[in-house]
Structure 1
């Protein structure tokens, strides 16, 4: 018998399984309290405050202070800026995760609800390709970022310049870093600070991308429910009740998308701005360092990781718009013309609600789309051309 509710014999689908690794990483850096609650006065909250303050904020602070002393050195400023901008974006991501923790936990609860459960094996098979593509981007993002972190961490050693006591990043500290053991301790501090910021930034980026995948998957399930609602052989009684369930499901998806957008608004805006500037500066930096050196490969890996980062935002945001716009067309694919007048009225009411596709945006200034992705790359190239021209003069 046809039913819009999950079959009692069907195993419950765990939507959060794909985010298991992400959540573990967020827990490590203090950005995911246990359970479905937000932060409480306990040891984990103390760890969150300590890690964000001393590793995320502290690492950024010492690099930004150093820019006061090197402001008249264009090359040094550029060398510091392209890293510092992305690290500041990572700090903002940590702040907005903490600020919107209650919203995030509510989204996780909604994912586990009966409304969002697939109804049959066909629907599970339907949503798997999107999650597979998310995993491909996830792995590529971590590989590229891991390469950049590795080369940043070891390039002073690989370039055989340890006698000069160089650090991976230009920064000012209120202690002398040109002698042991403060040099080694500061070196380790920069590496740990970089790791924590990288884990924070990558985990938040992939979390937002996964939330967009969830929204797209729910629209896929909704379209499948509509398409097969009036299939031959389905009982005619209860059509109206099933249609009301579909309308409620659509309303929950819209609410889920709105809360996701609310959480990601400022993060996406900051990321789009910093990505354009950072990619442009990193491309320029690759032209002034020694070719095929460890510093060159760190810039190369970093450029690829930033490109994958904004691609994830734009691709999966674009998928939400495409899949939400499919709902209206799916309605006309279903066989509802021979139903009762009440069902037809409700169906037309539903069509009116679905006229406007869901668009993920950054404060309604930029939409997450492939067109935005190309515009960011063009802007990055413009920054590179400008810096190259200024440097040549």
Structure 2
């Protein structure tokens, strides 16, 4: 039977990570080449530099509670994205090896019935990925246009409060900085989203392998005596490989998940406080609401897919005991 292409479901996810500079070609890791140079420039220009300029502005607004709150809840989110990028780049060799591991014979579905068994999990991830785009894009659009919507663009207000070593209250510095902030936040948010969805995909693959292992164990009783021992040993080896895959996946996103829960809690608290300070039904109000929804979905991803893995690992143990 033809090998099942596990990466087909997450192909768009990987393509965007590649555009962001986080996924070298094929099974390669970062080397001294053009793509590595591109990655360094894109990450520093569109993620690290905006974080620096916004964080530096805290020195100038720390006495203004409203301005400080508005600055911090966005800044901590962006700093978390920088941390995720660091973890992603640092663990790229592990992530590449996990993708290679998926293509091994042991992780392949054995028949059409097992393919039908795993498709709902793949479709669930795809649906989540599509739905996640809605609050992300909505938030980005509202952030990009709310100075125009509320007329503050006439006062040279930028989408995000930040310090720059030049005057942004004059043309064309204002327009260039406005464009730079908009492009940067789109780059950062979409990259951040796809890193989260990649972590969710790894958890999905662990759950799927548990489903395949459970199906193999259920069918052991129908095997001939000569095949029983061989298939049982294959199941044991499969289980060990799943545990190894899950351990390596956890090495990548355990710190990311901790940072996500901590930062999301802080950001949601500050965003809800900021909602009490803005005019109801204003463009800034809607941008905050979409932001709160986006942060909630980010937490949901790790909870939902992590819970699915725990349930399936528990089912796996029950089936093994029954067999």
**What's the TM-score once normalised by structure 2's chain length?**
0.98
- Residue number in structure 2 paired with 1:352: none
- Residue number in structure 2 paired with 1:22: 13
Specify which of 123, 133, 137 is matched with residue 132 of structure 1: 123
Secondary structure of the corresponding residue to residue 225 of structure 2: coil
Specify which of 147, 156, 165 is matched with residue 165 of structure 1: 156
1:249-260, aligned counterparts within 5 Å?
Answer: 249-260=238-249
List alignment gaps of at least 5 residues for structure 1.
Answer: 1-9, 335-393
Distance across 2 between alignment mates of 1:98 and 1:104: 9
Secondary structure of the corresponding residue to residue 119 of structure 1: coil
Specify the structure having the higher radius of gyration (Cα): 1
Distance across 2 between alignment mates of 1:227 and 1:54: 53
Residue 325 (str. 1) matches residue 314 (str. 2): yes
Distance across 2 between alignment mates of 1:107 and 1:329: 27
Going from structure 1 to structure 2, the CA distance change for 1:15 and 1:196 (only over 3 Å counts) comes to same
Alignment check: 8 A CA contact 2:27 2:96 kept: yes
Alignment check: 8 A CA contact 1:140 1:308 kept: no
List alignment gaps of at least 5 residues for structure 2.
Answer: none
Specify which of 247, 254, 257 is matched with residue 265 of structure 1: 254
1:1-393, aligned counterparts within 5 Å?
Answer: 10-231=1-222, 234-334=223-323
Higher helix proportion (structure 1 or 2)? 2
Distance across 2 between alignment mates of 1:296 and 1:112: 47
Distance across 1 between alignment mates of 2:231 and 2:241: 15
Secondary structure of the corresponding residue to residue 10 of structure 2: helix
Distance across 2 between alignment mates of 1:174 and 1:140: 39
C-alpha RMSD of the superposition: 1.0
